[in-house]
């Protein structure tokens, strides 16, 4: 009894170990590709791979991907999440170096198909209305029903609010990152010098 059950468990464990070893790298790559695709979608064209930093805003951690072209920063892709109608909405929000919203991408969500799920449609008016708006120029990041500048998706106010809140949160994160970082034109990295830190 012990031998047969133990034997079966052992064989299964071995088999799983083999499959896991075979697929581990591929799965990690698939996930990394997905993040990379989302970043590429929301910031202007950049060189190499983005620089990742973790930022703490309002006691919450955010992952910020800085996209670089040469030595200057061309954009920030910020991962945020808010509670939507059917569950969490995970998003990637991109800002250009000047603080404009460049574009947005929905990484995962569980909104109602045909209603809130319209947030995944990148061509829709709801998504494009955010593009090239700068909250610093008075663009109010809340839906029109709440006195803001964002047109909500018909019959999906809760989802629209959550989406807009995610963008607003990302903007706060952007401010704290871009504020701490001297603007590119004033910042001259001095390569090869000051190596005493090493």
Partner 1 sequence: MTKLELIKKGLIKDNPTFVLVLGMCPTLGTTTSALNGMGMGLATLVVLTLSNIVISAVARYIPDKVRIPSYIVIISAFVTIIQLLMQAYLPSLYETLGLFIPLIVVNCIVLGRAEAFANKNTVLDSACDGLGIGLGFTLSLTVIGLIREILGAGTFFGWHFLGGDGILVFILAPGAFLVLGLLMALFNKLTGRA
Partner 2 sequence: MAKLTVSLSPHFQSQTTTDVLMKDVLIALAPAALVSILFYGWRALMLLVVSVATCVLCEWLICKFLMHKQNPCLYATILTGVLLALNLPPAAPWWIAFMGGIAAIAIAKMCFGGLGQNIFNPAIFGRVFLLVSFPAIMTTWAAPHSWIGVDAFSGATPLAQINEGLRQGLPVNQIIADNNLSGWHMLFARAGGSVGEISALALIAGFVYLLVRKVIKPHIPVAIIGTVIVVSGIFSLIDPARFTGPLFNVFTGGLLLGSIFMATDYVTSPMTTLGMIIYGVLIGLLTVLIRYFGSYPEGVSFAILIANMAVPLINKYCKPKRFAA
Say if CB 50 and CB 67 are below 8 A apart.
Answer: yes
Q: Which is nearer to partner 2, 106 or 158 (CB)?
A: 158
Min dist. Cβ of residue 184 to partner 2 (A): 40
Q: How far is CA 155 from CA 66, 117, 121, 141, 152, in A?
A: 36, 12, 16, 19, 8
Q: In angstroms, rounded to a whole number, what is the distance separating the alpha carbons of residues 170 and 158?
A: 18
* Maximum CA extent, the chain: 75
Rounded CA separation 25/37 (Å)? 18
With CB under 5 to 8 Å by kind, the binding choice for 85 among partner 2, partner 1, none is partner 2
Does 126 help bind partner 2 (rule: CB under 8 A)? no
β-sheet bridge partners, residue 133: 101
Nearer to partner 1, 27 or 56 (CB): 27
Residue 92 interacts with partner 2 (CB under 8 A): yes or no = no
**Of these, 47, 61, 71, 146, which contacts partner 2 (CB under 8 A)?**
146
Residue listed under structure tokens 């909405």: 89
Nearer to partner 2, 63 or 115 (CB): 115
* Size of the chain in residues: 198
Size of residue set near partner 2 by CB under 8 A: 8
Rounded to a whole number of angstroms, the minimum distance from the CB of residue 73 to partner 1 is 30
Q: Does 125 bind partner 1 (CB under 8 A)?
A: no
Shortest distance in whole angstroms from residue 159 CB to partner 1? 14
Q: Closer CB to partner 1, residue 136 or residue 155?
A: 155
Q: By rule CB under 8 A, what string of x and - marks binding of each residue 8-47 to partner 1?
A: xx--x--xx--xx--x--xx--x---x-------------
**Which 83-112 residues touch partner 1, going by CB under 8 A?**
108, 112
Q: How far apart are CA 161 and CA 83, in angstroms?
A: 10
Q: Distance between CA 26 and CA 49 in Å, rounded?
A: 19
């Amino acid at each position: 009894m012990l031998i047969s059950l133990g034997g079966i468990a052992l064989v299964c464990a071995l088999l799983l170990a083999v499959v896991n070893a075979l697929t581990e790298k591929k799965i990690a790559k698939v996930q990394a590709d997905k993040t990379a695709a989302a970043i590429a979608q929301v910031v202007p064209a950049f060189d190499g791979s983005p620089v990742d930093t973790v930022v703490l805003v309002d006691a919450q951690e955010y992952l910020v991907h800085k996209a670089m072209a040469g030595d200057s920063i061309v954009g920030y892709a910020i991962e945020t999440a808010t509670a939507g109608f059917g569950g969490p909405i995970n998003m990637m929000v991109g800002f250009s170096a000047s603080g404009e919203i460049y574009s947005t991408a929905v990484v995962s969500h569980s909104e109602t198909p045909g209603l809130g799920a319209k947030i995944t449609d990148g061509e829709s008016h709801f998504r494009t209305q955010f593009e090239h708006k700068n909250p610093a120029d008075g663009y109010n990041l809340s839906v029109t029903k709440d006195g803001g500048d964002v047109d909500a998706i018909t019959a999906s106010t809760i989802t629209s609010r959550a989406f807009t809140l995610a963008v607003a949160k990302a903007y706060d994160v952007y401010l704290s990152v871009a504020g701490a970082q001297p603007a590119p034109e004033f910042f001259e990295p001095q390569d090869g010098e000051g190596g005493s830190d090493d």
